[in-house]
Amino acid sequence: MRKVILFAFISALNSEIIPKFGYHQVMTYLKFITAILFLSSSIALAHGEEKPGPHSGSIRMPGAFHVELILNDDQSAKIYLSDINFQNPTVQNSSVKMAAKDGKAVIPFACSPAADHFQCVPSKRFSKKAEIVIQAARDGKVGQEARYKLPLKFNQKSSGGHSHH
């Protein structure tokens, strides 16, 4: 199927597009589009979402810091707010608001600071297909919403193992 699509694309280039715009202009445009697609995928992965965080949880970068989510079997959560280098998790001058969006229902969590993370407990159970939404501020810097679709790609429930970035 891919060969058929590629053949059709090349045929369209040769028969319609290249004669109309010229070979050099079309090739320059295709190189530009290819570069944009490559860079946009590289930038998305550069924030660390493609591998587990320092506490083996799922990472998002809602601003100038990282949010790492670990969701336990009882649906409670640990939230680590780390710096841009995945280090120095802090609760000082920081806050977390968390909810699970389960269809039309929104289940809020009660979050409280612990030594180096926030511990969050849901007001009731939610389905395994919910979306977790976290609004965090780290050291006075407010980030955008961090969204996690369940099931999480990375979710080490113990606080033991660390991966290195």
Angle among Cα 78, 163, 70 to the nearest 5 degrees reads: 15
The structure tokens 């612990």 sit at 114
State whether the Cα torsion 128-131-137-141 is positive or negative: positive
Give the per-residue pLDDT at 110: 98
Which tens digit of pLDDT belongs to each residue from 71-106?
A: 999 999 999 999 999 999 999 999 999 999 999 999
Q: Percent of the chain having pLDDT more than 70?
A: 65
Higher pLDDT, 18 or 64: 64
Which tens digit of pLDDT belongs to each residue from 48-77?
A: 688 899 999 999 999 999 999 999 999 999
Pick the closest to residue 79 from 143, 164, 127 (CA basis): 143
pLDDT interval class at 11 (50, 70, 90): low
- Distance CA(26)–CA(37), nearest Å, equals 17
Query: pTM of the prediction?
Result: 0.69
| Mean pLDDT for all residues in the chain | 81
Return the number of other C-beta atoms located less than 10 Å from residue 127's C-beta: 11
